[in-house]
Amino acid sequence: MTPTRFPLLTLGSALLLLLVPGCAGYRLGPNAGLTQDASSISIVPFPNQTPEPGLAPVLAAALRRQIQSEGALSLDTRGQGDVLLTGNIIAYERVGVSFQPNDIITIRDFEIRMTAEIRAIHRRTREVLLEESVVGSSLVRGFNDLASAERQARPIIANDLAQKITDLIVEGEW
């Protein structure tokens, strides 16, 4: 008995049927949050209104990276973008989430949260496209040196916050 062979046309049709659904979600033009005339964004550095130093530059760098890697809007560094993003870092909190097994007072793991109030404005029409508070966070294990662990977690927290802000701008319902 010889094995059954598929004709080349049938095999090609089967491959096409497998590949086509992968492109079903792709669409041309702006995403849900963007208007046709918004193709660039300017980011004003966010003032840090918390007593925690050094948050603003870390968040600014993370926001620029996220906007550039997302690709729906080009980053305008001269301040002339179609969308102007402003904001304030309003909170930086450490919340204990777990304790040492034999000591219910000593915190073992912290969730660190950074909150920013953001505002996206269409430069030409002056329409407020988005105004919201956004929270970025990360878990930190703070055994012996919480300050060191926190310094290492700052870029992670800023990246989480920047990702959420970028998602709201690019995919939000304006």
DSSP code string of 100-161 = ETTEEEEEEEEEEEEEEEEEEEETTT--EEEEEEEEEEEEEE-SS-HHHHHHHHHHHHHHHH
Q: What are the extents of the domains in the chain?
A: 31-171
> Residue 91 corresponds to which tokens in the numbers above?
């909170």
Six token digits for residue 24: 């079903």
Q: What is the DSSP letter of 54?
A: T
**50: number of Cβ within 10 Å:** 16
Among 30-34, 108-112, 157-161, the least confident range? 30-34
Look-up of token digits 């919201």: 132
Mean per-residue pLDDT, 50-61: 96
- Are 30 and 71 in contact by the 8 Å Cβ rule? The answer is no
Q: Compute the distance between CA of residue 93 and CA of residue 57 in angstroms, rounded to an integer.
A: 18
Question: Cα separation of 31 and 120, whole Å?
Answer: 16
Longest Cα–Cα distance of the chain, Å, equals 80
Q: Is residue 32 within 8 Å of 173, Cβ to Cβ?
A: yes
pTM equals: 0.77
Per-residue model confidence as pLDDT tens digits over 89-125:
999 999 988 888 888 787 888 999 999 999 999 999 9
pLDDT for the residue numbered 47: 98
- Helix or strand run (H / E) with residue 67: helix 55-70
DSSP state of 84: E
Predicted confidence (pLDDT) at residue 155 exceeds the cutoff of 80: yes
Fold type of domain 31-171 = Double Stranded RNA Binding Domain (3.30.160)
